[in-house]
């Protein structure tokens, strides 16, 4: 090989490369030791209009559709582009009016009449009317809707199952007629599936709407590149006024150390995907703000009863988990014990008297395993390979080994993991480490989804629907969510949770954890409580 | 024993005397030997359990009872480093062995047989080479459960075509030589000619190339483990240790630096050993 006029032998090249490699390694070491950690700390203390807010997200497939789940980041884009009839800010847990100006509910709780806000325009300039509501929500309720992409997830399809009719008597009114009362309807309409898309855009783009989303939200779609970022621009005609920032960029950043260094350098304005291991370091840095994000998501193991049929073995697994170790070593303190079982402490139905459902008792767990003749049995554990999941998998592996089980683990790419949860034939489907975020903060969205004998958890993941008596839980959960009195409702949810855990134990709660939101100190008025629930309401934020 | 085998034996003895002459070559041989020794005997010397989580997370270098400190789950880092050598070396050696078996076998058959057999086999190899190696390995590994078996199969298969090309050229050259012709005329069957006559005479350059391939295989093994496609945690593995240690780069850089440096040193040493082997076996070549 010749470089310039000099002949370079392979050996010289190799030697040079190795010196260069070691040099690079040494530089990395210096950087890691903090020698190269100086940063330009020129952040301003005063908020200003204009500028770009950059949020780090878990990923983007450049498809942003309320009926089609791809990544949390892609649904954060939907939050910014589209809004629904109702809105829950997460600063309070109550649904408030958004595109619906007001509503009335019939005495029998079966008819909801929404009066729509007038003068609202979509990003494409069309006026918001009841036709847009029907076109958008029918995508959720009707699986034959032609604008649905293949594989759509339709988070509000459950409402559709209980819907007798959805009508629009005039351009400013929408009426829901339900088969059975549903007191969670207003809250659920605030969820991602309830977002309203321009009917004209739906007709124009059809199933491709995810690449051309048009809503009434504070930001309009500008560009998106799969695997990189989505850029949104402030919408001049947003009904609450143009956002202070000009541009919002949702940037895919998956590497934990890059998230930290980008936060410190100011390349990222904020994120809720902060690595737990970096929280202490970030708390000590004056250039960022670490928010005390509520411990609002459930981290759990779902057990497939088709693979682990003995209740005693499932209970033993639940008793074996060292949750304090998980809090310390997997979440670095950003989690609490699941004393309310699946209801996190920030929700109304939280009942700390359920703490015994998630206690640790290794001796009892061993006894149960021996009694069931399961000592030495191999169980397979699957976990996503990002964030807290692999650490939790390793801690749990040891816990289960300690009670006499043999554990095989598979750490799975997050993109592939979600699909594998649906595959009951997957080799590692015995135990699955997963999480549920409260996208609308209500017990119905936690225990109401987790204990339902259908859908992702009760059917595909755990096979709960195959157990005797499981069908009754659908009715019990439906009844519980319609109890008007908050105290009685909480008591009923507690009864259901206790009965579900005692009789079936398909879900072992690990912890209730937070999605730790961190921002640059120059970021003001960001709704960090919503961001801590993966909801992106940054219309008031400034940088 | 045929004359050609005797000659190759002599050549081997001479080559052995030329091995490890420079300090770099000698050092590289020692490094590779040390790594192999650690992989085999290390776990007997370091008794701490490399998979046992404890509450003593992220203890620093030199902490009491933990020479290299502990990782984020409180596991002894020295034990993890020592035990982590085994999967990497095992995968590297086995996959290189598989690549050699496949590549040399296919190449020899193609080179010796010539004609249509050669054309078909080598076009297949060209096809495999046209695929980026890493992509091919990921495809194969993803089709199976992650582990040593899938890694060895994936890496071995992906590296075989490169060796097959060299083997074909060497075998074709040897196939036209008199001693091969003589063996043919003597009624020796083709498989025996290939194994007893051709293989010993192409062993020198092939061996050097196979050792070079070892370093590539080690790099792939570490890379795949880094991507989560290799040995699954909690079993210690250098590639995965680098990945898992990344989030502690600022707090405990040793969790990344130690396994990364060990992998780098092994790969570079293998390259120099391969170079040295080539020089020893081909004294007329450029040093």
Does B147 reach chain A within 8 Å, measured CB to CB? no
Q: Is residue B205 part of a domain?
A: yes
- Looking at residue A80, what is its pLDDT? 97
A472 contact partners, CB below 8 Å, separation of at least 6: none
Distance CA(B240)–CA(B225), nearest Å, equals 5
So what's the pLDDT on residue A3? Answer: 40
* Confidence band of A1 (pLDDT split at 50, 70, 90): very low
Of A281, A329, A409, the CB nearest to B250: A281
Structure confidence by residue, pLDDT tens digits, A311-339: 999 999 999 999 999 999 999 999 999 99
Band the pLDDT of B15: cuts 50, 70, 90: low
Interface test with B, best of A20, A385, A401 (most B CBs within 10 A): A385
Q: Is the Cβ pair A257, B72 closer than 8 Å?
A: no
CATH of the domain at B278: 1.10.3720.10
Please check whether residue B49 lies inside any domain of the structure: no
CA A245 to chain centroid: 25
3-state SS of A365-415 is: HHHHHHHCCCCCCEEEEEEECCCCHHHHHHHHHHHHHHCCCEEEEEEECHH
Contact A14 B248 (CB under 8 A): no
The answer to which of A182-196, A491-505, A510-524, B199-213 has the lowest mean pLDDT is B199-213
Residue B7 lies in a domain: no
In total, the C-beta contacts within 8 angstroms joining chain A to chain B are: 92
Q: Is A260 in Cβ contact with B232 (below 8 Å)?
A: no
Question: Does residue A358 carry a pLDDT above 80?
Answer: yes
Domain span at residue B173? 31-44+61-286
- Percentage of chain B modeled with pLDDT above 90: 61
Q: Taking CB atoms and an 8 Å limit, are B246 and A255 in contact across chains? A: yes
Give pLDDT, residue B247.
83
Residue B226 lies in a domain: yes
Subunit contact B74:A275, Cβ cutoff 8 A:
no
- Total number of domains constituting chain B: 1
What are the helix (H) ranges across A266-375?
279-283, 311-320, 323-325, 362-371
Check B250 against A37: CB less than 8 A apart. yes
- Return the residue matching tokens 């293998």: B270
Of B244, B250, B261, the CB nearest to A32: B250
pLDDT exceeding 90 applies to what percent of chain A?
79
**Do A195 and A135 meet the contact criterion of CB atoms below 8 Å apart?**
no
Residues 6+ apart with CB under 8 A from A486: A348
pLDDT digits (tens, 9 = 90+) for B76-131: 999 999 999 999 999 999 999 999 999 999 999 999 999 999 999 999 999 999 98
Q: Does A14 touch chain B (CB under 8 A)?
A: yes
Note the pLDDT tens digit of each residue in A442-476. Answer: 999 999 999 999 888 999 999 999 999 999 999 99
Counting every residue, how long is chain B?
287
Helix, strand, coil percentages, rounded to 5, for chain B: 75, 0, 25
Q: With bands split at pLDDT 50, 70 and 90, how would you rate the model's confidence at B20?
A: confident
Residue with tokens 């088709």: A306
Among B54, B247, B251, B279, most A C-beta atoms within 10 A, so best to mutate, is B247
How far A453 CA sits from the closest chain B CA (Å)? 30
B17 found inside a domain? no
- Over residues A159-212, the pLDDT tens digits come to 999 999 999 999 999 999 999 999 999 999 999 999 999 999 999 999 999 999
Q: Name the packing angle between helices B77-113 and B148-175 (round to 10°).
A: 30
For chain B, the maximum distance between any two Cα atoms, rounded to a whole number of angstroms, is 74
B176: Cβ–Cβ under 8 A, 6 or more apart, which residues? none
- Which of A30, A322, A329 to mutate: most B Cβ within 10 Å? A329
Q: Predicted ipTM?
A: 0.72
Of chain B, the percentage scoring pLDDT greater than 70 comes to 92
Q: Among B85, B79, B19, B31, which Cα is nearest to B275's? A: B19
Tokens of B157: 């298969």
Nearest chain B residue to A281 by CA: give it. Answer: B251
- Average pLDDT of the segment spanning A74-91: 95
Write out chain A residues lying below 8 Å of B248, CB-based: 277
pLDDT at B228 (0 to 100)? 82
Q: Is residue B143 part of a domain?
A: yes
Instruction: Using alpha carbons, select from A347, A329, A358, A360 the residue that is nearest to residue A437.
Output: A347
Beta carbons within 8 Å of B279's beta carbon, 6+ residues apart: B18, B25, B285, B287
CA–CA distance from B55 to each of A203, A324, A397, A409, B43 (Å)? Answer: 58, 10, 16, 22, 23
| A440-457 core/surface letters (b: 16 or more CB in 10 A; e: else) | bbbbbbbbbbbbbbbebb
Run of H or E including A199? helix A199-205
Q: DSSP code of B232?
A: P
Q: What pLDDT was estimated at residue B256? A: 95
pLDDT band at B11 (very low <50, low <70, confident <90, very high): low
User: Is B205 part of the contact surface with chain A (CB cutoff 8 Å)?
Assistant: no
- Sheet strand arrangement including A100-105: A100-105, A111-116, A173-178, A163-170
> Could you give the CA distance from residue B197 to residue B91 in angstroms, rounded to a whole number?
31
Say if the Cβ atoms of B250 and A393 lie within 8 Å.
no
Residues of B in contact with A7 (CB under 8 A): none
What would the pLDDT profile of B223-268 be if each residue is shown by its tens digit?
A: 999 888 888 888 899 999 998 898 888 889 999 999 999 999 999 9
- What pLDDT shows up at residue A344? 95
Q: Does A16 touch chain B (CB under 8 A)?
A: no
A211-268 pLDDT tens trace: 999 999 999 999 999 999 999 999 999 999 999 999 999 999 988 889 999 999 999 9
Report how far apart, in Å, the C-alpha atoms of A44 and of each of A41, A245, A287, A520, A524 are. 9, 15, 10, 10, 11
Contact (CB, 8 A) for A225 and A62: yes
- Give Dmax over CA atoms of chain A in angstroms: 91
Q: Which of the two residues, A231 and B9, has the higher pLDDT score?
A: A231
B185 found inside a domain: yes
**Inside any domain, residue B2:** no
């Amino acid at each position: 090989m010749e470089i310039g006029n000099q002949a370079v032998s392979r050996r010289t090249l190799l030697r040079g490369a190795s010196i260069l490699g070691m040099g690079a390694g040494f530089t990395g070491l210096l950087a890691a030791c903090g020698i190269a950690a100086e940063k330009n700390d020129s952040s301003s203390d005063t908020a200003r209009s204009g500028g770009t807010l950059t949020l780090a997200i878990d990923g983007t497939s450049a498809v942003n559709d309320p009926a089609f789940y791809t990544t949390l980041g892609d649904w954060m884009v939907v939050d910014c582009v589209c809004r629904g009839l109702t809105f829950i800010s997460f600063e309070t847990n109550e649904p408030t009016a958004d595109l619906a100006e007001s509503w009335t509910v019939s005495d029998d709780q079966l008819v909801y009449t929404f009066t729509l806000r007038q003068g609202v325009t979509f990003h494409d300039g069309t006026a918001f009317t009841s036709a847009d509501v029907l076109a958008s929500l029918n995508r959720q309720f009707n699986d034959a809707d032609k604008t649905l992409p293949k594989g759509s997830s339709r988070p509000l399809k459950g409402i559709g199952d209980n819907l007798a009719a959805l009508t629009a008597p005039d351009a400013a009114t929408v009426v829901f007629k339900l088969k059975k009362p549903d007191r969670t309807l207003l809250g659920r309409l605030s969820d991602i599936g309830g977002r309203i898309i321009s009917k004209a855009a739906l007709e124009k783009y059809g199933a491709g709407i995810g690449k051309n989303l048009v809503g009434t939200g504070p930001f309009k779609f500008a560009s998106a590149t799969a695997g990189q970022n989505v850029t949104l621009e402030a919408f001049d005609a947003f009904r609450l006024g143009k956002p202070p920032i000009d541009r919002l960029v949702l940037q895919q950043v998956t590497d934990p150390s890059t998230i930290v260094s980008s936060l410190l350098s100011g390349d990222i304005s904020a994120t809720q995907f902060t690595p737990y291991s970096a929280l202490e370091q970030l708390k000590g840095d004056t250039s960022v703000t670490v928010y005390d994000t509520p411990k609002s998501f459930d981290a759990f193991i779902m057990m497939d009863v088709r693979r682990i049929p003995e209740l005693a073995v499932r209970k033993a697994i639940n008793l074996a988990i060292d949750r304090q170790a998980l809090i310390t070593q997997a979440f670095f303190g950003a989690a609490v014990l699941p004393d309310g079982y699946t209801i996190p402490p920030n929700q109304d139905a939280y009942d700390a008297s359920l703490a015994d459902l998630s206690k640790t008792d290794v001796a009892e767990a061993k006894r149960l395993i021996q009694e069931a003749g399961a000592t030495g049995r191999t169980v397979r554990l699957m976990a996503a390979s990002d964030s807290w999941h692999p650490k939790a998998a390793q801690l749990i592996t040891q816990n289960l080994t300690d009670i006499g089980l043999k554990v095989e683990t598979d750490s799975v790419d997050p993109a592939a993991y979600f699909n594998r949860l649906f595959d009951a034939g997957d080799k590692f489907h015995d135990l699955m480490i997963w999480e549920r975020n409260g996208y609308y903060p209500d017990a119905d969205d936690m225990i109401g989804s987790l204990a339902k004998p259908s859908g992702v958890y009760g059917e595909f993941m755990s096979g709960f629907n195959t157990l005797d008596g499981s069908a009754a839980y659908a009715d019990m959960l439906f009844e519980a969510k319609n109890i008007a009195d908050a105290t009685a409702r909480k008591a009923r949810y507690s009864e259901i949770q206790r009965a579900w855990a005692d009789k079936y134990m398909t879900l072992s709660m690990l912890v209730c954890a937070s999605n730790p939101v961190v921002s640059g100190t120059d970021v003001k008025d960001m709704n960090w409580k919503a961001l801590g629930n993966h909801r992106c309401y940054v219309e008031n934020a400034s940088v | 024993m045929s004359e050609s085998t005797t000659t190759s034996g002599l050549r081997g003895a001479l080559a052995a005397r030329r091995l490890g002459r420079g300090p770099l070559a000698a050092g590289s041989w020692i490094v590779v030997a040390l790594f192999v020794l650690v992989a085999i005997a290390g776990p007997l010397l370091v008794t701490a359990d490399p998979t046992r989580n404890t509450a003593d997370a992220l203890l620093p270098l030199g902490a009491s009872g933990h020479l290299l400190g502990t990782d984020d789950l409180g596991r002894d880092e020295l034990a993890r480093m020592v035990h982590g050598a085994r999967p990497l070396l095992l995968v590297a050696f086995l996959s290189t062995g598989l690549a050699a078996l496949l590549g040399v076998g296919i190449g020899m058959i193609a080179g010796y047989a010539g004609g249509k057999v050669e054309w078909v086999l080598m076009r297949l190899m060209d096809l495999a080479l046209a695929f980026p190696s890493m992509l091919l390995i990921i495809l194969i590994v993803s089709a199976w459960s992650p582990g040593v078996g899938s890694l060895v199969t994936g890496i071995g298969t992906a590296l075989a075509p490169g060796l097959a090309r060299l083997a074909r050229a060497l075998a074709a050259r040897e196939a036209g030589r008199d001693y091969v012709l003589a063996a043919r005329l003597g009624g020796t069957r083709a498989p025996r000619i290939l194994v007893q006559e051709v293989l010993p005479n192409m062993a020198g350059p092939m061996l050097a190339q196979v050792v070079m391939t070892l370093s590539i295989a080690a790099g792939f093994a570490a890379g795949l483990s880094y991507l989560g496609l290799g040995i699954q945690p909690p079993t210690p593995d250098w590639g995965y240790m680098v990945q898992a240690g990344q989030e502690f780069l600022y707090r405990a850089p040793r969790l990344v630096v130690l396994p990364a440096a060990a992998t780098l040193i092994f790969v570079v040493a293998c390259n120099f050993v391969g170079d040295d082997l080539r020089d020893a076996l081909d004294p007329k070549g450029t040093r």
